[in-house]
Structure 1
């Protein structure tokens, strides 16, 4: 009996010891430290807005990381946090009673694959939200670094110019036709700000397969031209007077599910199919031998360009503009994909699965917009590295909290992140961190980001803000909300 009592006592003490940290967190008073959260304004792009599942919609906006931050700030003296809500949970814009194709409704998982919710968005393209003069959440989907400084970025007339000079999401809540996102943020006289911008400065190039329809923003240049000048101008004005805030750097684009889900070798063939394809590409391969013998290409390039299919899984044929131009010899710039290339999940509204099933990548080479090639990945990496140097230097120079979003993404890709009984990773659909568009986070992913922001704020300003329970946030939105 005494042994049983001793055993129970030991278990009891062990239980208390194991839960001591949680009890300490619960008992620690929530304080702002040296920060002032009474007027928080968030600037950024679609991530700040709460974009998810390929669209911006009300429920997603509720779960945006700035909204999650604002709830935790309230416990330390934070004020109200207003959001320019879309009209419903369908997402996108309508015009004349029809959904605008460039702004489709959100996706949901139907049990087998992503599908699109039915209905027509009540958010009319070019409309303006009535009521509040300015909003705390200034996240604007599609915005690049220099767009935050651009006067007239919320002018409805700029939606019909070629190219457009305005953004329909900012048109909805801009205080005037001539204002900028930064100007509207500063007019509110914030006491604390968050800034996470730069993703779209490289993302447009990446999602279009590097086909140059959406060039990478150059690093150098004056505000309104290059990333460095624009970003430093943003931080300088936001930090005026010693105002405190938090900024985040950028992950590599090719770590997102949008670029990693399809894989480089998605073509599964039988022996007959492989033989037929090899016969079709035999003249091309023979031409490469002739080009090599004539000294037009090296043996290494000949091998790299040679097309060969086998029974089983295969790399697909792609057009690669970085290969030696052999048009004069009547040869196109074809090669098969490698592990260093990334086939995009969707291109111009068509899924890669549907596109590949139709014979593309085998009998018909994939065009540039479908693949981010090794050379294009290198360009994206160079730009992102340069942006991140600028972001961290600006944070240091202005005494701001800094979030290493690149490290968070690396962790999600390499093993994932565990919390309680849950595990999150960057795996498409099942990983829990990303929504169905393969680029933007799920609600749980946004909550994870918010917690990382809270950690950085606590470390920099001595605040004791509490993290949110990630288990309270869903990983997929159902068809009906």
Structure 2
């Protein structure tokens, strides 16, 4: 059988164009100096930039490549904006809770108990896909002046997190907040930010209230069931109300269309690429599954249409991934019913059908998580010595079936169409709440992030409408994938020309620089200031080997 392991990153395999980039941490300050445009007579317009504070989650913190690390923090969009405010003579230095780690801590690839501490991921162009760097560093306490911080971005934070006292409680709270909270046991993110007396702020929060469900493959509660529109409204109103009470002005950012991130796009639903010989071999070995499905229809009265969508048939070229779907009817009792009867299954045949009691091929439109890419094609029996064994995951054995225990975990690897609808509905609902609160609060302007996503993703206006995006995003959806920014083509992925980092969720340094410029232009337009933008081309895209 054809080797299967490294065939699942369809998007990247066609887009990788190796370009030179420089990732040395000691060049960050030099880059910032290169991009700063110092001009006379800078004005803040109707805003006061004396103390700019950024509130939010990992996007605000500069988390990228699966970790919070030095270069990512330095390239965060709030830090870029803050530095440009400094260059314009509008504020004091922009201070961040420095992590002091070259590689950071990557929870996905670390095993603390085994002493394996991984750091940021980089792009391995031979796969192609992300691989961790070593050594990483455990999260340590911030030792600087906590009272003078400007960046209050906390990876993992949700809307409610900003106003939760004790959110950084040692050992049980969020370690990224615990490390710089004034009192981790009692204070909240917003309380610490307000204590610095902000005069201007950016607030980008709400993404994780949708993203958590998406990154878990739709497991758990529907986002709106877990966090109702009423509670979201109350919590977001509280945050804006407390900020407005200080007399400060600011920019809020709505929830981006998370279904467009490469974490959900890099692995296509039909990632099983086969030659004809491999397809024929698989069809022969799995013929018993299809025969058993026909048998339970004929002899046990099972629904024929449901049995048909579970059948497995491979051909030359791309094929759908075979997955466990825990929402399917368990066929175990039906297989049992035709076991040992004339013309039915033998006990041995029945035992071999265990992996297929709740399995089916994916269908077009379903989204596969990037994390599945590291599992697809590996041998379910654990013998990956030559990658030609009889149990490749997602091919002969359904993705999400444990051959040793029989446990099922299929739903965590992909998003069904129904789960995507739940995500679209929640994102549109939360963004609508943000827009309404911003419009009703003097001194608050909302930056719509959706047009940038729609444009770079290459959506058509019909696709943008289907995703319930804003009218501005629908207008920006031109159907051409990628954008040209400052003369450079930018792709919607984590290739060397992409805007995302290797975790497939967060922007890379150039992505942050582009976002910073867009926000600077928005601030200048809304508040009559003239903060200078940066040259985004000096910021790198992804790190690779």
Compute the TM-score of the two structures, normalised by the length of structure 2: 0.73
1:131 paired residue number: 145
**2:425 match: secondary structure:** helix
CA deviation map 1:401-460 (0-9, x unaligned):
222112211111112221232011212313320111111111000011111212222222
Note the residue ranges of structure 1 that are not aligned, 5 or more in a row. 1-24
> Greater shift after overlay, 413-422 or 137-146?
413-422
1:82 paired residue number: 95
Measure how far apart 1:228 and its partner are: 2.8
1:174 paired residue number: 181
CA distance in 2, matches of 1:291, 1:43: 57
Q: Is the 8 A contact 1:191 1:243 kept in 2?
A: yes
- Paired residue total: 438
**1:346 match: secondary structure:** helix
**2:93 match: secondary structure:** coil
CA distance in 2, matches of 1:66, 1:295: 62
Note the residue ranges of structure 2 that are not aligned, 5 or more in a row. 1-36, 336-355, 380-386, 401-410, 459-480
Alignment of 1:382-461 (within 5 A): 382-399=425-442, 400-414=444-458, 415-461=481-527
Measure how far apart 1:326 and its partner are: 4.3
Alignment of 1:321-332 (within 5 A): 321-330=326-335, 332=357
Measure how far apart 1:465 and its partner are: 2.3
> Greater shift after overlay, 227-236 or 128-137?
128-137
Correspondent of 1:463 among 513, 529, 534: 529
Alignment of 1:309-324 (within 5 A): 309-324=314-329
Measure how far apart 1:168 and its partner are: 0.7
> Greater shift after overlay, 182-191 or 277-286?
277-286
Q: Is the 8 A contact 1:55 1:92 kept in 2?
A: yes
Q: Is the 8 A contact 1:341 1:372 kept in 2?
A: yes
1:190 paired residue number: 198
Q: Is the 8 A contact 1:218 1:383 kept in 2?
A: no
CA deviation map 1:271-311 (0-9, x unaligned):
33323333444444345446666775363x44433321112
CA distance in 1, matches of 2:94, 2:329: 55
1:338 paired residue number: 363
CA RMSD of aligned residues (A): 3.0
State whether structure 2 residue 74 is matched by structure 1 residue 69.
Answer: no
Q: Is the 8 A contact 1:42 1:136 kept in 2?
A: yes
Measure how far apart 1:212 and its partner are: 2.5
Distance 1:27 1:152, change over 3 A: closer
Correspondent of 1:359 among 380, 384, 392: 392
CA distance in 2, matches of 1:372, 1:98: 27
**2:92 match: secondary structure:** coil
Q: Is the 8 A contact 2:270 2:320 kept in 1?
A: yes
Measure how far apart 1:120 and its partner are: 4.2
Correspondent of 2:281 among 267, 276, 283: 276
> Greater shift after overlay, 112-121 or 369-378?
112-121
Q: Is the 8 A contact 1:204 1:214 kept in 2?
A: no
State whether structure 2 residue 70 is matched by structure 1 residue 45.
Answer: no
Distance 1:98 1:257, change over 3 A: closer
Q: Is the 8 A contact 2:66 2:106 kept in 1?
A: no
Distance 1:405 1:298, change over 3 A: farther
CA distance in 1, matches of 2:39, 2:187: 45
2:165 paired residue number: 151
Distance 1:192 1:295, change over 3 A: farther
CA deviation map 1:81-137 (0-9, x unaligned):
11001122110189xx9967897301223553433322242xx44634343335210
1:35 paired residue number: 47
**1:451 match: secondary structure:** helix
State whether structure 2 residue 351 is matched by structure 1 residue 307.
Answer: no
State whether structure 2 residue 68 is matched by structure 1 residue 56.
Answer: yes
**2:534 match: secondary structure:** coil
Alignment of 1:105-120 (within 5 A): 105-112=119-126, 113=128, 114-120=130-136
CA distance in 1, matches of 2:139, 2:246: 38
